[in-house]
Chains A and B, each alone.
Chain A
Amino acid sequence: MSNEADLIARLQDPSRKEAAFRTLLAEYQERLYWQIRRMVISHDDADDVLQNTFIKIYKHIGTFKGESKLHSWMYRIAANEALSFMKKRSRRLGVSDEGLQEYLVSNLEADPYFDGDKAQLQLQRALARLPDKQREVFNLKYFDEMKYEEMSELLDTSVGALKASYHLAVKKIESYLKEINA
């Protein structure tokens, strides 16, 4: 039995669930945190979404059938949590999804948990202007250096469509950076 299969078996066994959940947290909390953080931008929001994600994982691990990798399943929960969190936030503020992204990035300079330089800030501004899907694909490819095949399982999208999204994202970022640095 592989390590992952063994972990899943322990997570689905009530008598061993608590200990297995601690192992799961230790192994995945950081990876999921950064994936969420890049979506919601602020640390406090990322913390909320990460907690909600793991609570959902804990409650629903019994229904996990093992048809995908454990990380893919958890990533989809995290991405859904982050997206619904952002949607609620944009409704509350009365702005569009794109408007919210730009608003969040405009607050980055004053964020105590952002110490990026000018280039990092410019990249975040460029990313805020991308559609959700393209930003997600760019983040996974550029920062996580994820393979298209893995991303394809994660996002349930064909490799061809992912390459197209990444290519378009890069073109848009490139053109934005040229424009502001001209």
Chain B
Amino acid sequence: MKSNKHNGGFRVPENYFEGFADRIKDRLQASGGAGLPEETGFRVPGGYFENFQDRLTQRLAGEQPGDSRGKVRRLWPARLGWTAAAAAAVILLVTFWPASTADALGFEDLAQTEIQRYLEDDGDDMGAYELAESLPLEEIALSDVLESLPEEDQILDYLNQDSETVDELYWNGDE
């Protein structure tokens, strides 16, 4: 078996991990009293999968522009439409041109609450505890949590400075 420096010299029996999932499954089934079910118990209505394709095709046809919708009749003649569009464009340009160049919105203009809402709504739902729970220790290196690794001297200084604090942890006040 390939040795790994993180294993600290420990070894596991041959093919230990290959059968691991099955062993857990067996143990889980044994713990469920009558045995853990192999199936979920969910059912579908009769003919559901046979008809799904047709139902989806109908829905897709409804969403395709021009496929099944009736012909759209113009409310305004084409020339009048262009005139109205040009007039609207001129009004918008005159109204908003100076403001849009002077006050372009940037990331810093986002309200704090908007950012928080985005993170709450769209961020990963895993909390710090769950995240720590789900990450195996062997995948985390000290460099992942520290920006720069401390020098050996700094570690020794720290241990010497804080030795009294450590003693407090081991000795009760009444001793």
A-side interface residues toward B, CB under 8 Å? Answer: 22, 25-26, 29-30, 33-34, 37-38, 43, 47, 50-51, 54-55, 58, 87, 97, 113-124, 131-134, 141-143, 158, 160-161, 163-168, 170, 173-174, 177-178, 181
Contact = CB atoms under 8 A, between A and B. Distances in A.
B162 interface: no
A177 B33 contact: yes
B128 to A, nearest CB: 13
A131 B132 CA distance: 13
B21 A119 contact: no
Contact of B35 (A54, A87, A119): A119
16 contacts: A25-B56, A54-B56, A113-B43, A116-B42, A119-B32, A119-B37, A123-B40, A124-B40, A133-B126, A133-B134, A142-B25, A160-B139, A163-B17, A163-B20, A168-B134, A177-B31
A164 B42 contact: no
Contacts of B20: 163
What is the interface residue range for chain B against chain A?
A: 35 or more
Interface string B1-35: 00000000000000001001100110110011111
A47 B133 CA distance: 33
Nearest to B134: A165
Given A51-B56, A51-B59, A181-B33, A173 B40 contact: no
B76 interface: no
Contacts of A116: 37, 39-42
Interface string B132-162: 0111101100000000000000000000000
A178 B31 contact: yes
B49 interface: yes
A36 B130 CA distance: 23
A181 B29 CA distance: 13
Given A161-B134, A166-B21, A173-B28, A55 B63 contact: yes
B49 A58 contact: no
Contacts of A117: 37, 41
A57 to B, nearest CB: 10
A17 to B, nearest CB: 11
Interface string B96-132: 0000000000000000000000000100011000100
Interface in B26-69: 27-28, 31-37, 39-45, 48-49, 52-53, 55-56, 59-60, 63
